Structures are given as C-alpha cells and as structure tokens.
Amino acid sequence: MDLSPLLDSLNDAQRQAVAAPLKPTLVLAGAGSGKTRVLTHRVAWLVQVENVSPHSILAVTFTNKAAGEMRSRIEAMLSLPAAPLWVGTFHGIAHRLLRMHWREAGLPQAFQILDAEDQQRSVRKLIKSLNLDEARWVPKEVTWFINAQKDEGLRPKHLKADGDPTREQLIRLYAAYQESSDRAGVIDFAELLLRVYELWRDNPDLAAHYRARFRHVLVDEFQDTNTVQYKWLREVTGSTGIPFVVGDDDQSIYGWRGAKIENLHQFRRDYPDVQMFRLEQNYRSTGNILAAANGLIAQNSGRLGKNLWTSGEKGEPVRLYSAYNERDEANFVVERIREWTSKGGNRRDCAILYRSNAQSRAFEEAMLAARMPYRVYGGLRYFERAEIKDALAYLRLMFNRADDASFERVVNLPTRGIGNKTLDTVRDYARANACPLWQAAGATLTQLGVKAGTSLHAFLALIERLDKETQGLALHEQVDRVIEQSGVIAHHQKEKGERGEARVENLEELVSAARGFDTEETGDMSPLAAFLSHAVLESGEGQADQWEDSVQMMTLHSAKGLEFPLVFLCGLEEGLFPHQRSATDPARLEEERRLCYVGLTRAMQKLYLTYAEQRRLHGVDSYGSPSRFIRELPAETLEEVRPRIQVSRPVFVPRKPMMEEEPVAGVKLGQRVRHGKFGDGIVLELEGQGSHARVHVNFERQGAKWLMLAYANLEPL
C-alpha cells in the first residue's frame, strides 16, 4: 500500500488504524494516546488514499470546540476547505438535518430550539397550568424525566406506569409537554436527536438516501453516546455504511445523562466483522501526571483495562495545594499563572478546571482584580440574555451616566423614535468633544429636529427621573420600578408567542434575583453597584475576547478531549468532587472518578490540584475534607506545595513595608471574639501572617473552627 506522508507522524498502532481496511472499526484507547489524531488522519486517508469523496463522510464529535478543531485539522491536512464534509456535534448535525427535512419530521419550517432553561421554564408553566403542586412535581426533576425518556428513544406511548401513580403522572406530564411543544413549534435538545432518529426510521427513502451518501461515519468520544445516538448511528450506517468509532471506557462521564458504556460492547455485537485497535502510548502528559492518572483510575472496577505508558520525561511532581478558602485558592492559581507568564508562557495554555459552574466565580473575581484576561466556556447564562442585559443597561446608566455602551443599548429600546441619524449627531459631538454620549445628547438637543429632540429629551428625563425616584428604595424595588417604567416589560409583552413570555418571565426573575441578592458583603459599595458588578461577572462581560491570549476556564465535563500545558484541577473536596449526590452510589462514584481521570489527563507539563478547607458556594459556607481522589493518587507522584505551618504565633508581626496586607489587629490568644455566623468564642491559636493568617476559635455553640483572619470579620469583645 502507498505509504502516504500522512502516516509519517504516527506510531505503528496508529498507522494501522488509520490505514485499516474499509470495514467497521473500533479504536479503544486511553487518554492522550492519539484517538482524535487517528480519527482526523483517517478522514484525510479516506479522501487522499482511498479516493473517497468528502461528500460521503460524516464526522461526529461532542463539543463545538472539538468539532471546530477537528474541522481545521482536516482542512490543514487536505489543504482544502472541508466544506463538503459534514463535521459537527450530534446536536449540530441533527439540527442541520431537521432544517432540511422539517416537513418530513413534522415540524413547522420556522421551528425554534429550546435551550435547557427554556425547557425547564416551559415544564414549570405546564405544571402550574395543571394545578399541580410544584413542591411535589419539581420542574427540574420532571424535565429530567422527560429527557431521560427521550435519550432512550421513548415516547409517552411506549411507557408503562405499572401501577405506580408517580410514574403515571410523570408520563402524563411528558405527553402534555410534548403536545404543547409540538403546538408551539419548539424542540428541546433531546428532541433534536430523537426526531432525527424517527425521521430516518419513518422515512425509508430518506434513510436510504443518507445511507447511500454517508458511507463513512466517524465518531469521536464514542463511550459517551446515549441510546438514541447509537440508534441513529445504526440507522445511518445500515448494513452498508462503515462506522469508524474511537473511545475510552475510562472517560465515560455522561452516564447521568443517559450515555451508555455498553454501547462499546453493543457495537461489537452489531458489527461482527469489526476490527479493533488499541493504542497504548500516551503522547500528552509527563510520566508523573500519567502515573497519577493511572493510579487513580485503577481504583475503578469493571474496566476494559489498558496499559498506558509514555516515553516522555517524568517531569515535575503533581502539586497539591491546600487553600484556606475559595479566595485563597483562586489567588494561589492566579499567582502560579503569573509565574508561568513571567517565564514566557501563554495564558491560553493554562486551564482551570472545576466540577461545577458556580466555582468559576471566585476565579473570575481574582482574575478581574489581577487584570488577567480569561474566558469561561459554558452555556448561555441568565445574565447573558438580551432582555436582562437591556434591563441592566438602564440600571447602569442610572448609576453611571457616562456608560456609553449602556446608553447605546437602550436609548431607543423600546423604540422611541430616536433614529441612527439623531444618534450620529450625538456620537459626532461626543467624539469631537471627548465627552460621554449622555453629555453629548444634552448638548445637541437644540441642533436636532423638533421630533428627534423631543424624543431624546424624554429619554434623558426618564433616566433622571428613575434615578431620583428610586433613591432609597430596596434593591429589588429599584429593579422592579426600572423594568416597568423604562417600558422594557411592556415591550416584551407585546411580542407574540413563547419567546416574549419567556422574556417577561426572565425580567420578573431579575426582580427576584435582586431580592435574593446578598447585600451583606457589599462593603462600601451601594447595593445597586454591587448587584451590577455581580451581573457583570455572571454575564461573563469581564471576559477577554476570543482572540485575546486568555486563561481558559471550564467544567471538567467540557474539558473532555482538550489538552493544556498547565492545568489546575480545583475544588477537590468531598461533597463537591466527588459530588455529594454520588458519594453513596458506587456506580456514580466511579463515574466521578472517571471525571477526575479526565481532568488529570488534560495536563501536559504541569498539574496542580487544590482544595479549600472552607468554601462559600451558593451563599453557603461549607467545611469539606480533602477529596478521596487525592488519597487515591500514588503518593510518589504528589508533592504538597505548602506544608502546614507548624508554629503557632501571635499575628502581631511587625508590619512589612510595601505589603498591602495588614495583620489583623485586635485579636490575640485567649481573646473573646464574635463571628457573624458562628457567634461568640475564644481564640485558641493563631498562625501564619498577612493574608495567610489563620485563627482557631472555639465557638460556644458551633465548636472549634479554623478561620482565615482576613475574611472572618471577627469582632473583639
């Protein structure tokens, strides 16, 4: 066979997989062994060597980020645009197919997609409209049930209650939800996949067309396919298509969403002539990182088993940092990244990984304070929604008239007859006089036509009035007043259909968010100012642009398939990771362990693990112990960054010049102190200094606790 230069950069095992005969293929291999590399090379091989038309290739992967990377790698190898090639996520491809075949799929042409939040809202509405008790029929759980059925390829008519009244009600809710979604012409994520499966199943001609077309179907991260995705694969390959799937049973992390490791076995049964390849050499990580990961995953039972090795250097030990709290953890990470960049490293090569989205918050705050560009990867968040941004823009402008971006956003929203021509006059004036748009608007009023001038004047007056009239009101009253009087609510009430309703509900939720906003910790800031900066963080507006060199932040789930020279795996505490829900269920615990394995194996050169002794998450303090996963790592691969300070000493250390941090005065051994949450107690020990100073207090009601002096706000009594 022609030894194409395509194969030069591969090892023997990889080469065999890439150049394998055109038969169903399964590549089963550990992290970083080149599965994705093999898959992309296989595509190039098919086109260049086997003369397969790019038209007949369908390549599927899990995240948009991975799909984008795959596309560009293939384009580079083939030195042609990969346009005729279908590369995408299961959802993306399903969407594309449904747009093309909406009629056959029984959808209106303009069908809309519901994201996870929209879906839950719609379920909640349904529950309300049926007069069911929301406490008993929790919208989130009902949504979960519906999606789980869809992931299994099941419609209400396939389900049996078997005399279980709860299940019976859930099935009824599923049916009602589906009816109302169909009527409204909206489809949720799980529906996308199920619809395409049904589309092919129920339209044999169409299925035959796609079977003839997509002879080659390649799937990355195969271990995380769910039942309906697998059925889909079976439909499109039929008896003639040639699947090429790659995966790693140790990285299956979507069991909670219906993914089935068993699909790996099923695949071997369904394609009896399958050819199997194993890759065992890891090219990504240093010896230490790999040994740590191997040691961890060895604790799982029922693995297919593999022996992953590297010929690379042993590298540095994996570093473990025990932080006092989440802020200390974040500062530690920021300092390490500073070190990295000061030695010439790129920020984009640093990744901060965590179990739950809410953890990003402390890191974002630390990076904003350190002016370190960062990006958080994840779904559309509440504060990113357009209507919420509109409402916030009003609030911002009230707070700060010089906020030009907010001015631009709402000056003509809702429409009040302020056109682009008027705005151009204002913008020109602002530019010429280097002043904010607000000021320019005031100054140009007389130069404008009567109509435009009146409209603009009314807008300025509105903001002034809102500001004046809401002074002294509680935060949520302020917000309520603003969304009413600005006309934003009325604007969306006029909008027809689901979208408009959803927007109005979202705006109403903003009032609740303001009511629930913890103004306790705002310090000198006014509650409104604190709320606005909270919203900036929540909306990710502090984030760097896509092209800027920035630190990468994401959940462990979204890190799948990616790699970074420097990785921080954070929040390794019992209850957080492994997640509380999983601690008592052995199967779920193993899934958490695989998730940890995924995290460890993202690291190429340096890996830090961190945990916090005290953590505030969702406004609640918790005191977790270090995650069991830390104990499960081979000790010889680990090194503690800062062994505990052994000496206790008073914190009245002489103040160091140039140090920002002052020792917290007024607290000494034996002193009685008062804490906002824990009440009164006596200081038993003091240790560390500056921002690291800690205090051990025996509280009368809560017992002894270690606290960070800088954050504890202890009041000497």
Interface residues with ligand ATP (CB under 6 A) are: 9-11, 14, 29, 31-37, 248, 251, 283-284, 561, 563, 601
DSSP string, 461-500: HHHHHHHHHHTTS-HHHHHHHHHHHTSHHHHHHHS-HHHH
Rounded to a whole number of angstroms, the minimum distance from the CB of residue 563 to ligand ATP is 6
Rounded to a whole number of angstroms, the minimum distance from the CB of residue 598 to Mg ion is 11
- Give the whole-angstrom CA distance, residue 500 versus residue 373: 35
DSSP string, 199-266: HHHH-HHHHHHHHHH--EEEESSGGG-BHHHHHHHHHHHTTT-EEEEEE-GGG---GGGTB-THHHHH
DSSP string, 435-471: --HHHHHHHHGGGS-HHHHHHHHHHHHHHHHHHHHHT
Choose, by CB under 5 A, the member of 14, 33, 36, 227 that binds Mg ion. 36
- Give the whole-angstrom CA distance, residue 272 versus residue 281: 27
SS3 track for 555-588: ECHHHCCCCEEEEEECCCECEECCEHHHCCCHHH
Nearer to ligand ATP, 13 or 171 (CB): 13
Contact between 241 and Mg ion by CB under 5 A: the answer reads no
Select the binding partner of residue 31 from Mg ion, ligand ATP, none (C-beta < 5 to 8 A, by kind). ligand ATP
Select the binding partner of residue 624 from Mg ion, ligand ATP, none (C-beta < 5 to 8 A, by kind). none
Rounded to a whole number of angstroms, the minimum distance from the CB of residue 36 to Mg ion is 3
**Cα–Cα nearest to 219, from 81, 89, 80, 106:** 89
Select the binding partner of residue 150 from Mg ion, ligand ATP, none (C-beta < 5 to 8 A, by kind). none
Rounded to a whole number of angstroms, the minimum distance from the CB of residue 193 to Mg ion is 21
Choose, by CB under 5 A, the member of 139, 247, 561, 571 that binds Mg ion. 561
Nearer to ligand ATP, 222 or 271 (CB): 222
Select the binding partner of residue 10 from ligand ATP, Mg ion, none (C-beta < 5 to 8 A, by kind). ligand ATP
Rounded to a whole number of angstroms, the minimum distance from the CB of residue 572 to Mg ion is 24
Assigned token pair, 286: 């240093």
The catalytically annotated residue of 151, 198, 220, 687 is 220
- Is 383:535 a contact under the CB 8 Å cutoff? yes
Select the binding partner of residue 32 from ligand ATP, Mg ion, none (C-beta < 5 to 8 A, by kind). ligand ATP
543 catalytic? Reply is: no
Rounded to a whole number of angstroms, the minimum distance from the CB of residue 37 to ligand ATP is 3
602 catalytic? Reply is: yes
Task: Indicate if the alpha-carbon torsion angle 579, 581, 586, 590 is positive or negative.
Answer: negative
Assigned token pair, 78: 């083939």
The catalytically annotated residue of 602, 615, 694, 705 is 602
Nearer to Mg ion, 282 or 470 (CB): 282
15 catalytic? Reply is: no
Assigned token pair, 579: 């997640």
Nearer to Mg ion, 350 or 559 (CB): 559
Nearer to ligand ATP, 282 or 422 (CB): 282
Rounded to a whole number of angstroms, the minimum distance from the CB of residue 554 to ligand ATP is 14
Helices 586-600 and 287-297, packing angle to 10 deg:
170
- Is 14:264 a contact under the CB 8 Å cutoff? no
Nearer to ligand ATP, 278 or 427 (CB): 278
The catalytically annotated residue of 14, 15, 25, 35 is 35
* Number of residues forming the site for Mg ion (CB under 5 A): 3
Nearer to ligand ATP, 74 or 576 (CB): 74
Nearer to ligand ATP, 68 or 417 (CB): 68
Rounded to a whole number of angstroms, the minimum distance from the CB of residue 592 to ligand ATP is 18
- Is 697:714 a contact under the CB 8 Å cutoff? yes
251 catalytic? Reply is: yes
Greatest C-alpha distance within the chain? 85
- Give the whole-angstrom CA distance, residue 593 versus residue 599: 10
> Which residue bears the tokens 């010896």?
287
Burial of residue 184 (number of CB atoms within 10 Å: 0-12, 13-18, 19+): middle
Select the binding partner of residue 582 from ligand ATP, Mg ion, none (C-beta < 5 to 8 A, by kind). none
Task: Kindly calculate the radius of gyration of the chain based on its CA atoms and give it in whole angstroms.
Answer: 29
- Give the whole-angstrom CA distance, residue 694 versus residue 713: 12
User: Which residues form the catalytic set?
Assistant: 35-36, 220-221, 251, 602
In the complex, which residues of this chain contact Mg ion (CB under 5 A)?
35-36, 561
